[in-house]
Amino acid sequence: QVQLVESGGGLLQAGGSLRLSCRASGRTLRNYHMSWFRQAPGKEREFVAAINWNGASTYVTDSVKGRFTISRDNALNTMYLQMNNLKPEDTGVHYCAAKEAFRNYVDPEYNYWGQGTQVTVSS
C-alpha cells in the first residue's frame, strides 16, 4: 500500500506562486496514476489535475488551465503541482491521490489519499 504526504502549502497574496509536492512511500510511484484535488471551506472536494503513471499524459480542470502544471519524478517518488497566478478562489486544502496504474486513468475514483496541505490566497 502506498502512503502519500503533501507539502509546500502556505499563505500568500493573489498573483503569487507555489509548488506543492506529494511524496510517496511504501510502493514505487511508477505503479500509480496520480492526481491533485482541493477542498475549499464549506465546499465539496474537487478535481484539479491528473497525470498518468509515466507522466506522458496530463490534464487539468478548466479553472486552472494556463496557471497550474502537474508533473512527476518517479525516480524521486514525488509528484508536483506548480501553481502560478494564484487567485483567492484557489484557497483550500490540497490533496494528492493515487490509484494503481491498471485502473482507468480518466476514471475520477482514487483509492489512496494524503492528509492535505493548506493553500490560502488573499486578495
Q: pLDDT tens, 17-28?
A: 999 999 999 888
Beta carbons of 22 and 110 less than 8 angstroms apart: no
pLDDT at 7: 98
- The per-residue pLDDT for range 35-56, each reduced to its tens digit, is 999 999 999 999 999 999 999 9
Q: How far apart are CA 50 and CA 48, in angstroms?
A: 7
Q: Which among 97, 101, 71 has a CA at the least distance from the CA of 83?
A: 71
pLDDT at 33: 96
- The per-residue pLDDT for range 80-110, each reduced to its tens digit, is 999 999 999 999 999 999 999 999 888 889 9
Beta carbons of 29 and 72 less than 8 angstroms apart: yes
Residue located via cell numbers 471551506: 41
